[in-house]
């Protein structure tokens, strides 16, 4: 069984007009999307784990305006990634970010989703992909972009 | 150029993957080859050993520990934070190019700051093993194995040597060795006991970590066991090198055996340690232990027959023996010969033997002081402790240098020690104590000339060590090839 991008995200998990006050609010809003999509069994436990990792690493935002908050947690029932975009870059740890990917990974050894998530992270390094994400006008477009970039 | 990029983060999902992609892209842009391994919670898929061997430098971008990091030992390493690799991959590749050209690891401020205090103190010196082992094959491999063992052994040498010297200084060099600290507590006796205990680990650690370099973690147990037996049979550090190489080879061979299913899983738990230790131990006892016993007896008889021989000849022989294996059977035989003389009222051989045992560490201290670039950073630090150890007749201080490069260092040290011992006999120097170095100077007859004899041998050995390393190319692969022979 192989996992594709459609197993870990969907248009329900894309928020193109994320209007939030900052880093923590962004994580909360995206965690709510994952929760509504039925991927979290314990939303708060998962969010706590993400917060902890953010604090531990000094923020997961990179210079290129991308933040990838993520955690492995028992509060996750199904692996997923939620994407939020803000109109102006948020203060995010030591950096600023306008593209935020919140990744939820379940506990356990058999990480079929890891390959997909790794590929997504790898593509984000390329400016062309980031530009397309910034220019996309609908959630459908975003999911389609991810499909194009990530083949399994 | 060829690089290996290693990225690691605690989950191994996001940032390690981004860093991998960033490094890969930047390296390709500059026309380099790069092999990547990503480390995360569920381990990593290691790049081939062949790829590591061929790499000009290793880039480690990690916010987490790297499993089996010793695979990269001996390679120029550039260590950065994950963030640097993601944000500025081009700069990181540029630093790797420089490290590859210099053939030496860089010590980046960022990477050092990340490490814990004690290790930061050393500034990654352990990794900074000078190398240009590109394509040198087996010789370079053997050298890397020896260097790994030596780098783990050095702290024991330094701790043990300085504690023993301190004990001599505070409690008298002869007295401290005769007190049992558990029955009759004194501070110097305690220092001496701690120092001797550290010294007892030299050979097991050397052997264990030579095997570790060869066969990873499963090599350690058979190597340490073999090293302990080397201690037991009095085989010294050369016996330790033999034990380490044996243990590594046996475990490497065991790893090649692939058993199906459940049997495969018990290999690392049961078979590697059990069969590894058994084979190594048996070989050490039967193949190495027995001959050593007979060689020792032969040497003893031969030395006894030299009683009253020409002073110069006797000095050359005793001096060479002292420096040959530094605590091994040959050294011990010469020392025992001198002790027998001491008990029988002949004080000159004792003086000659002690002088010859002081020369090797002093010579290496001198060599590292005046030609530091020929030595690794770890060796340079150990070199300075050798002033104290040489002065205290703690010949063990020279062992790391000899173990890392036996075929060039040992002969150089033997020449200086032989000259020193001959001069000591020629000058009619005597010693009425079995040990102590500079601390028993009051018991040395003709001490000004005695110090002169030591100084001459020290300068000769240091010059030879520098000359031979310089002449045959620093830390190059030639040395490794000769070490393999």
Looking at residue A32, its pLDDT comes to: 94
Full-prediction pTM beyond 0.90?
no
**DSSP state letters, A8-64:** H--GGGEETT---SSHHHHHHHHHHHHHHTT-BS-HHHHHHHHHHHHHHHT-SB-TT
Chain-chain contact of A121 with B15 (C-beta, under 8 angstroms)? yes
Q: How far is A94 from chain B (nearest CA, A)?
A: 11
SS3 label, residue A88: strand
- pLDDT for A93-148, tens place per residue? 888 899 999 999 888 755 667 888 888 888 998 889 999 999 999 999 999 999 88
- B371, B470 Cβ separation under 8 angstroms: yes
Looking at residue B402, its pLDDT comes to: 95
**DSSP state letters, B395-452:** GGGGHHHHHHSHHHHHHHHHHHHHHHHHHHHHTT-EESSSS-GGGGGGGEETHHHHHH
Looking at residue B256, its pLDDT comes to: 83
Whether B10 has its CB under 8 Å from any CB of chain A: the answer is yes
What's the whole-number mean pLDDT along residues B456-463?
A: 97
SS3 label, residue A67: strand
pLDDT at A152 over 70: no
- Among the listed ranges B5-14, B35-44, B324-333, which one has the minimum average pLDDT value? B35-44
Report d(CA B123, CA B127) in Å as an integer. 9
- B83, B120 Cβ separation under 8 angstroms: no
- Which B residues 41-80 touch A at CB under 8 Å? 41-42, 63
- pLDDT for B177-214, tens place per residue? 888 889 989 999 999 999 999 999 999 999 999 999 89
Q: How far is B39 from chain A (nearest CA, A)?
A: 11
Q: Cα A66 to the chain's mean position, in Å?
A: 10
Predicted confidence band of residue B270 (pLDDT cuts 50, 70, 90): confident
Q: Residue B101, Cβ neighbours under 10 Å: how many?
A: 12
pLDDT at B468 over 60: yes
Chain-chain contact of B17 with A53 (C-beta, under 8 angstroms)? no
Report d(CA B272, CA B266) in Å as an integer. 9
Looking at residue B274, its pLDDT comes to: 93
Looking at residue A60, its pLDDT comes to: 84
Q: How far is A118 from chain B (nearest CA, A)?
A: 5
Q: How far is A120 from chain B (nearest CA, A)?
A: 8
- pLDDT for B212-236, tens place per residue? 989 888 899 999 999 999 999 989 9
Looking at residue A54, its pLDDT comes to: 85
Predicted confidence band of residue B381 (pLDDT cuts 50, 70, 90): confident
pLDDT at B129 over 60: no
Looking at residue B137, its pLDDT comes to: 58
For all residues of chain B together, what is the average pLDDT?
85
pLDDT at B480 over 70: no
Chain-chain contact of A121 with B18 (C-beta, under 8 angstroms)? yes
End-to-end CA distance of chain B: 30
- pLDDT for A16-40, tens place per residue? 999 888 889 999 999 999 999 999 9
Looking at residue B291, its pLDDT comes to: 87
- Among the listed ranges A63-67, B46-50, B149-153, B417-421, which one has the minimum average pLDDT value? B46-50
Predicted confidence band of residue B119 (pLDDT cuts 50, 70, 90): very low
- What ipTM goes with this model? 0.89
pLDDT at B79 over 60: yes
Chain-chain contact of A125 with B18 (C-beta, under 8 angstroms)? yes
For chain A, the residues whose C-beta falls within 8 A of a C-beta of chain B are 53, 57, 60, 62-64, 68, 70-72, 101, 103, 105, 109, 111, 114, 117-119, 121-126
pLDDT at B133 over 50: no
Mutate to test the interface with A, among B5, B10, B12, B13 (most CBs of A within 10 A): B13
pLDDT at B108 over 70: no
Q: Which residue of A has its CA nearest to B88?
A: A63
- pLDDT for B52-74, tens place per residue? 888 999 999 987 777 777 788 87
What's the whole-number mean pLDDT along residues B334-361?
A: 93
Looking at residue B156, its pLDDT comes to: 93
Looking at residue B131, its pLDDT comes to: 36
pLDDT at A88 over 80: yes
Predicted confidence band of residue B451 (pLDDT cuts 50, 70, 90): very high
What's the whole-number mean pLDDT along residues B7-15?
A: 81
Chain-chain contact of B42 with A114 (C-beta, under 8 angstroms)? yes
What's the whole-number mean pLDDT along residues B298-303?
A: 89
Does the active-site annotation cover A70?
Answer: yes
- Among the listed ranges B61-70, B249-258, B340-349, B471-480, which one has the minimum average pLDDT value? B471-480
pLDDT at B398 over 80: yes
Most confident of the following: B115-129, B144-158, B252-266: B144-158
Chain-chain contact of A124 with B18 (C-beta, under 8 angstroms)? yes
pLDDT at B107 over 70: no
Looking at residue B111, its pLDDT comes to: 40
All residues of chain B having their beta carbon less than 8 Å from the beta carbon of residue A53 are: 10
- Among the listed ranges A52-66, B286-300, B361-375, B469-483, which one has the minimum average pLDDT value? B469-483
Looking at residue B481, its pLDDT comes to: 35
Residue in B236, B428, B265 with CA at minimum distance from that of residue B349: B428
Looking at residue B361, its pLDDT comes to: 97
pLDDT at B135 over 70: no
Helix (H), strand (E), coil (C) string for B122-176? HCCCCCCCCCCCCCCCHHHHHHHHHHHHHHHHHHHHHHHHHHHHHHHHHHCCCHH
pLDDT at B333 over 80: yes
Looking at residue B476, its pLDDT comes to: 41
All residues of chain B having their beta carbon less than 8 Å from the beta carbon of residue A114 are: 12-13, 40, 42
Q: Which residue of B has its CA nearest to A110?
A: B42
């Amino acid at each position: 069984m192989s996992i594709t991008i459609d197993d870990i995200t969907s248009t329900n998990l894309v928020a193109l007009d994320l209007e939030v006050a900052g880093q923590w609010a962004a994580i909360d809003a995206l965690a709510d999307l994952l929760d509504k999509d039925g991927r979290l069994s314990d939303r708060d436990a998962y969010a706590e784990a993400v917060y902890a990792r953010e604090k531990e690493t000094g923020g997961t935002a990179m210079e290129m305006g991308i933040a990838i908050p993520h955690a492995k947690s028992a509060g996750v029932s199904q692996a997923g990634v939620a994407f939020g975009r803000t109109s102006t870059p948020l203060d995010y740890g030591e950096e600023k970010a306008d593209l935020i990917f919140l990744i939820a990974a379940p506990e356990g050894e058999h990480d079929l989703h890891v390959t997909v998530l790794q590929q997504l992270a790898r593509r984000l390094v390329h400016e062309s992909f980031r530009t397309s994400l910034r220019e996309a006008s609908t959630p459908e477009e975003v999911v389609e972009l991810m499909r194009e970039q990530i083949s399994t | 150029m060829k690089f290996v990029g290693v990225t690691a983060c605690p989950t191994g999902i996001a940032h390690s993957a981004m860093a991998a992609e960033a490094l890969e892209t930047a390296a390709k842009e500059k026309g380099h080859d790069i092999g990547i391994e990503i480390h995360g919670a569920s381990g990593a898929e290691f790049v081939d050993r062949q790829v590591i061997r061929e790499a000009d430098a290793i880039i480690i971008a990690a916010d987490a520990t790297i499993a089996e990091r010793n695979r990269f030992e001996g390679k120029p390493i550039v260590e950065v934070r994950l963030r640097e690799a993601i944000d500025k991959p081009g700069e990181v590749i540029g630093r790797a190019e420089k490290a590859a050209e210099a053939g030496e690891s860089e010590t980046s401020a960022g990477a050092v700051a990340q490490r814990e205090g004690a290790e930061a103190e050393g500034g990654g010196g352990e990794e900074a093993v000078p190398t240009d082992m590109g394509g040198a094959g087996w010789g370079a491999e053997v050298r890397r194995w020896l260097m790994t063992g030596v780098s783990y052994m050095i702290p024991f040498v330094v701790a043990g040597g300085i504690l023993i010297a301190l004990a001599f200084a505070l409690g008298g060099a002869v007295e401290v060795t005769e007190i049992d600290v558990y029955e009759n507590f004194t501070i110097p006796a305690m220092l001496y006991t701690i120092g001797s205990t550290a010294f007892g680990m030299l050979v097991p650690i050397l052997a264990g970590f030579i095997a570790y370099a060869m066969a990873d973690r499963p090599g350690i147990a058979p190597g340490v066991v073999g090293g302990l037996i080397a201690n037991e049979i009095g085989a010294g550090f050369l016996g330790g090198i033999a034990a380490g190489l044996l243990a590594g080879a046996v475990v490497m061979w065991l790893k090649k055996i692939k058993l199906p299913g459940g049997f495969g899983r018990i290999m690392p738990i049961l078979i590697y340690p059990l069969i590894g230790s058994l084979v190594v131990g048996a070989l050490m006892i039967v193949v190495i232990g027995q001959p050593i016993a007979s060689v020792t007896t032969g040497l003893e008889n031969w030395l006894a027959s030299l009683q009253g021989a020409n002073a110069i000849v006797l000095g050359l022989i005793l001096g060479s023996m002292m420096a040959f294996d530094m605590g091994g059977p040959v050294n011990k035989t010469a020392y025992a010969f001198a002790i027998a003389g001491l008990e029988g009222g002949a004080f000159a051989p004792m003086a000659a033997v002690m002088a010859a045992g002081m020369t090797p560490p002093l010579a290496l201290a001198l060599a590292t002081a005046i030609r530091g670039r020929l030595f690794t950073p770890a060796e340079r630090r150990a070199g300075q402790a050798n002033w104290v150890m040489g002065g205290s007749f703690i010949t063990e201080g020279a062992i790391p240098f000899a173990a890392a490069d036996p075929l060039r260092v040992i002969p150089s040290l033997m020449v200086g020690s032989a000259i020193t011992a001959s001069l000591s006999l020629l000058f009619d120097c005597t010693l009425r104590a079995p040990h102590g170095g500079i601390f028993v100077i009051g018991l040395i007859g003709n001490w000004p000339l005695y110090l002169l004899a030591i100084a001459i041998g020290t300068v000769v050995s240091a010059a030879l060590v520098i000359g031979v390393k310089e002449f045959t190319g620093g830390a190059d692969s030639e040395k490794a090839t000769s070490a393999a022979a």
